[in-house]
Amino acid sequence: MSTEHETTPSSFSDLGLPDHLDQAVSRLGYTQPTPIQEKMIPHVLEGRDVVGQAQTGTGKTAAFALPMLAKLKTAKSREPQVLVLAPTRELAIQVADSFSDYSKHLKKIHVLPIFGGQDYNVQLRQLQKGCQIVVGTPGRVMDHIRRGSLKMDSIHSLVLDEADEMLRMGFLDDVEWILDQLPGREQTALFSATMPVNIRKIAQKYLHQPVEITIESKAVTANTVEQRCLITSGGFASKIDALGKILESEDFDGVLIFVRTKLQTVELAEKISALGYSTTALNGDIQQSQRLRTIEQLKTGKIDILVATDVAARGLDVNDLSHVI
Ligand code: AMP
């Protein structure tokens, strides 16, 4: 999916990042920093705590990942230094991938996503081998702290990504518990699309005079996307009927269909499969390994249609979808 950025005239080289990171972003095709990157990177490099009110799509990941990579302490080579908490496994994986992309040329940097649903042994082995950056969902991070497998002493930087989403998913107590376990925390960055009272309280309690950066989210629609609306009457059955007709008449490449409940993902996927399309349901009850496989299958064209709840689909990064319904 493509993302549109409101870019500003400054360049990455003005932001104070080391050359190797300038080169990494330019290899990825980033020509200019997005507004949140331009405003936030210098403060994070300076060591300030930051609060970013910004949504996915604004480039917020690079806004914290680039300066935090620049600030890694090389002496503590294989101990975790940066911990990122993210609400979902998909977002954790996506953020870990971004850290890896930006640090690909640095041989000794290891980034580890840890999330519920994945085999403990795999994570334990990787934690044992060592890594500087851990990106995890709160529940699993807590488990590893309790087991003693995730060492907290050397973590100097913490990021709370999509804090309002963590609140919505009931992770706030876990997040606070984790915040209380970080004796060496020097810097904290908190990102949230919205700022409900509970998130403000966390910022007040745990952040030290944070710089606040708000990126107004304009409801932009990429002009490459054509939007259509079809109104049906007669409930689920007539929607399925209409959907069948759309699929028959449209040329499509990859289709993502959103429904509200887990049950509907399964029901609808079964109905569409019965029409002869290769379709799979994606919801929070499906095992993580299977979810990753499903997303891979959509990416490689082995599945045409994915029926998902918005929670399960958060952080999906799939190119070449022709239709979202
Ligand atoms: P995020 O808001 O962090 O989820 O980023 C959204 C997308 O924008 C990701 O695919 C990034 O790779 C991409 N991106 C981030 N910063 C830039 C930039 N300065 N120029 C172009 N693309 C970017």
Ligand 1 contact via 191 beta carbon (within 6 Å): no
205-211: which pairs have CB atoms within 8 A and are 24 or more residues apart?
A: 206/179, 207/49, 207/51, 208/49, 209/48, 209/49, 210/48, 210/49, 210/50, 210/51, 211/40, 211/43, 211/48, 211/49, 211/50, 211/51
Q: What pLDDT is attached to residue 312? A: 66
Instruction: Please tell me the distance between residue 224's alpha carbon and the centre of ligand 1 in angstroms.
Output: 18
Q: State the angle between helix axes of 235-249 and 262-274 in degrees (0 to 180), rounded to the nearest 10.
A: 50
Contacts of 294 (CB under 8 A, 6+ apart): 280, 282, 286, 303, 306
| Buried residues in 65-96 as b, exposed as e (16+ CB within 10 A) | bbbbbbbbeeeeeeebbbbbbbbbbbbbbbbb
Q: What pLDDT is attached to residue 315? A: 62
Ligand 1 contact via 59 beta carbon (within 6 Å): yes
Q: What pLDDT is attached to residue 298? A: 86
Instruction: Please tell me the distance between residue 233's alpha carbon and the centre of ligand 1 in angstroms.
Output: 39
Q: What pLDDT is attached to residue 1? A: 37
In angstroms, what is the C-alpha Rg of the chain?
21
Choice from 61, 213, 217, 319 to test ligand 1 binding pocket (greatest atom count within 8 A of CB): 61
Q: What pLDDT is attached to residue 219? A: 54
Instruction: Please tell me the distance between residue 61's alpha carbon and the centre of ligand 1 in angstroms.
Output: 7
Phi and psi, residue 251, nearest 5°: -85, 120
Ligand 1 contact via 52 beta carbon (within 6 Å): no
Nearest to 116 by CA among 149, 146, 139: 139
Q: What pLDDT is attached to residue 220? A: 56
pTM of the model: 0.74
Q: What pLDDT is attached to residue 53? A: 96
Contacts of 109 (CB under 8 A, 6+ apart): 69, 72, 99, 103, 132, 133
114 Ramachandran zone, left/alpha/beta (phi>0; psi -120 to 50): beta
| Cα 216 to Cα 54: distance, rounded to the nearest angstrom | 7
- DSSP letters, 120-159, are HHHHHHHHHH--SEEEE-HHHHHHHHHHT-S--TT--EEE
User: Do 37 and 17 contact (CB within 8 A), yes or no?
Assistant: no
Q: Which two tokens stand for residue 182?
A: 């970080």
Q: What is the pLDDT along the chain (325 residues), one digit of tens a residue?
A: 334 444 445 789 999 999 999 999 999 999 999 999 999 999 999 999 999 999 888 999 999 999 999 999 875 578 999 999 999 988 999 999 999 999 988 878 999 999 998 899 999 999 999 999 999 999 999 999 999 999 999 999 999 999 999 999 999 999 999 999 998 999 999 999 999 999 999 999 999 999 999 998 665 566 778 888 888 887 878 888 888 888 888 888 889 999 888 888 999 999 999 988 999 998 888 877 788 888 888 888 889 899 998 766 666 777 778 899 9
Q: Which two tokens stand for residue 286?
A: 């499906």
Q: What pLDDT is attached to residue 197? A: 95
| Cα 68 to Cα 71: distance, rounded to the nearest angstrom | 5
Ligand 1 contact via 60 beta carbon (within 6 Å): yes
| Cα 317 to Cα 247: distance, rounded to the nearest angstrom | 23
Contacts of 272 (CB under 8 A, 6+ apart): 243, 244, 247, 257, 279, 305, 307
